[in-house]
Structure 1
């Protein structure tokens, strides 16, 4: 939970939205933004050995689901419109990535 708190604290205030001058100076609250939260354990794939990804270092599903639900609770406290996936489901997600960059946040380095 401490890592979820840290991650949401960073995401909530991250200035990644454009202002009137086209500069990324605005945070989520500044633009009345919406959030989509999707669980994606496959991002944790270890591909260092062989040709089949390993997920043995990923968290146990029951613990991971509890953490996912906790994160959703944090987001809902600050954001009016929160969409989310279904933990463990096979989902098809369409996304338009609107911006010049992608950011990976690792709680170990925040």
Structure 2
């Protein structure tokens, strides 16, 4: 399982010109699911995202500029977007190979479980729409982007 996370000032997802998910300050997380991923991987990934320290501690001048706060500590939102292309093998040729990505039906079920778990761990969770053509808008804060794997 992979997650590309971005610290954002705001982020939103549109499907067919309808807003399906939005957050203000927080993390936009693109989630890629592989063949061997399971609920335990999903829970570990959510826990890692929620506790990953990518926010500055603005309340302590002595720590100015240090990334020592997580999204929960700063009261930020979490926008989860399924992104099978994160699992692409791009080592050969000029066309990505998506063979490592989980099959759509299994991925949809696991992504739904990931969302359910995330909502039990954090009060500000929004999502995209699995399998839809989504238009994602974000204001990347920093920019700070990290690729996480479990």
Question: Which stretches in structure 2 are left out of the alignment for 5+ residues?
Answer: 1-38, 59-63
- How high is the TM-score relative to the length of structure 1? 0.88
The verdict on how the C-alpha distance between 1:32 and 1:43 changes in structure 2, with shifts beyond 3 A counting, is same
The verdict on how the C-alpha distance between 1:91 and 1:100 changes in structure 2, with shifts beyond 3 A counting, is closer
Aligned partner (choices 29, 41, 57) of residue 3 of structure 1: 41
Q: Quick check: 1:39 aligned with 2:82?
A: yes
Deviation at 1:100, TM superposition (A): 4.5
Q: Quick check: 1:96 aligned with 2:143?
A: no
Contact 1:46 1:54 in 2 (8 A): yes
* Residue aligned with 1:86, SS: coil
Equivalent-residue separation in structure 2 for 1:24 and 1:73 (angstroms): 28
Equivalent-residue separation in structure 2 for 1:62 and 1:5 (angstroms): 19
Equivalent-residue separation in structure 1 for 2:72 and 2:144 (angstroms): 20
Equivalent-residue separation in structure 2 for 1:8 and 1:57 (angstroms): 21
Q: How many residues align?
A: 107
Instruction: Name whichever structure is richer in helix by fraction.
Output: 1
Q: Deviations over 1:34-71 (max 9, x none)?
A: 00000000121122222221212211111111111111
- How high is the TM-score relative to the length of structure 2? 0.66
RCO comparison, higher one (Cα < 8 Å, 6+): 2
Instruction: Name whichever structure is richer in strand by fraction.
Output: 2
* Residue aligned with 1:101, SS: strand
RMSD value, Cα:
1.4
Name the structure 2 match of 1:65. Answer: 108
